[in-house]
Amino acid sequence: MTFENTREFAQKLDSQDILNKYQDEFIFPEVNNKKVIYFTGNSLGLQPKRTKSYVDEVMSDWANLAVEGHFYAEKPWWDYQERFAKPLSKIVGALPSEVTVMNTLTVNLHLLMVSFYRPTATRYKIICEEKAFPSDQYMFQSQVHFHGYKTEDTIVEIKRREGEHNIRLEDILAKIEEVGDELALVLIGGVNYYTGQVFDMKTITAAGQKVGAKVGWDLAHAAGNIKLELHDWNVDFAAWCSYKYMNSGPGNASGCFVHEKHHNNPDLPRFAGWWGHNKERRFKMEPNFDPVHGADGWQISNLPVLSLAPYLASVEMFDEVGMDALIAKRDTITAYLEFILHEIDKEVKGNFEVITPANPKERASQLSVFLHGEGRSLFDYLMKNGAITDWREPNVIRLAPVPLYCSFEDMYEFGQVLKRGILE
């Protein structure tokens, strides 16, 4: 498609967009009495309007039924999480039995590492990407120390080549081969939070498992954003947050994936709790743990239904839209934003550098823009003028044109705000 940097062209794309109507499903903040251009869905998604009714339902059931809401609410609380299995499995490419919801992201990664990071005297190393999200770095460090190893001897970072912003697949595969028999775990972010690079999860998973390691993925920036096939890729485990691309609200519940090949392994350790116990016998209060079959068997505590209600509203919206339609618009609107950025760069004779891969197969709903010669003042101007973006030191602005609620006209308008911010 040949793009044009005009409002009329952007409006034409919007008129042809089958997802354009979903903008009306969300609540937008306002700046200067005008709806914002929202580019930070990779940090916190907007609130869907339907969310309130899901939360109100739980509040009403709590008020009217109290403890009996566990069994007699319209959506009984004791099995509330089971409503996620089918729609969530479609989002991440899993069997319904392979997914569950519980806790928050880093908590779940720690819990999953109980099962899948089992270092020995000879096989103990962890491979991750350089500049992983800080929470992952802290998790790795604490896990390694817990097992009695030194960080510098255990954590192996895949680094970017000198002068490059993204990590090459061949370098990841080479490092896996090099570490070889010492490698216990590969755990990488499926989409790098800083650059927006999408990793080849299928190839990396196969390579890690070939040398005898377990392979897991932090899908914080991937779930609800890219096409995932966790079951078919034979991924051992994964976890993700729900408040970014899945719009479930700040700090909300995390999703987990455990491949079915691990479901019947009695030797696989896990930290157990009441809600992971055999559902049919849970209220018999038996002393010995008998896990629920599937990923639900990794649950520990009874679930925070008030937190799950917004998440359920979201996954049901995803189910009606479908990932294929989301991804089709995602690719077009991201490409259009990239075009707008380059056009504005020419007009202002600036020096923008998009550090997200140009290959559509290696990126999703994010463009990270390195602003050579510009600083924090430009970001501040954008925010004060209704373009809500994300600043990362030293001078990178992250832009996430989320297909559910961003329009093509937003992309055009952002270019105009950006141009004014540079020229004023």
- Buried/exposed 160-193: b ≥16 CB within 10 Å, e otherwise: beeeebbbeeeebbebbeebeebbbbbbbbbbbb
Of 275, 305, 321, which closes a domain?
Answer: 321
What token pair was written down for 133?
């999200």
What residue numbers bound the domain in which 283 lies?
Answer: 53-321
Residues 79 and 201 in one domain: yes
Residues 316 and 402 in one domain: no
Residues 305 and 375 in one domain: no
1 within some domain: no
348 within some domain: yes
What's the pTM value of the predicted model, to 2 decimals? 0.96
What token pair was written down for 331?
């690719």
Give the Cα separation of 184 and 331 in Å (integer).
35
> What is the domain count for the chain?
2
Residues 228 and 336 in one domain: no
Residues 145 and 228 in one domain: yes
Burial class of residue 28 in the structure, from the number of CB atoms within 10 Å of its CB (0-12 exposed, 13-18 middle, 19+ buried): middle
Per-residue pLDDT of the chain (424 residues; tens, 9 = 90+): 899 999 999 999 999 999 999 999 999 999 999 999 999 999 999 999 999 999 999 999 999 999 999 999 999 999 999 999 999 999 999 999 999 999 999 999 999 999 999 999 999 999 999 988 899 999 999 999 999 999 999 999 999 999 999 999 999 999 999 999 999 999 999 999 999 999 999 999 999 999 999 999 999 999 999 999 999 999 999 999 999 999 999 999 999 999 999 999 988 999 999 899 988 888 888 999 999 999 999 999 999 999 999 999 999 999 999 999 999 999 999 999 999 999 999 999 877 899 999 999 999 999 999 988 777 899 999 999 999 999 998 889 999 999 999 999 999 999 999 999 998 8
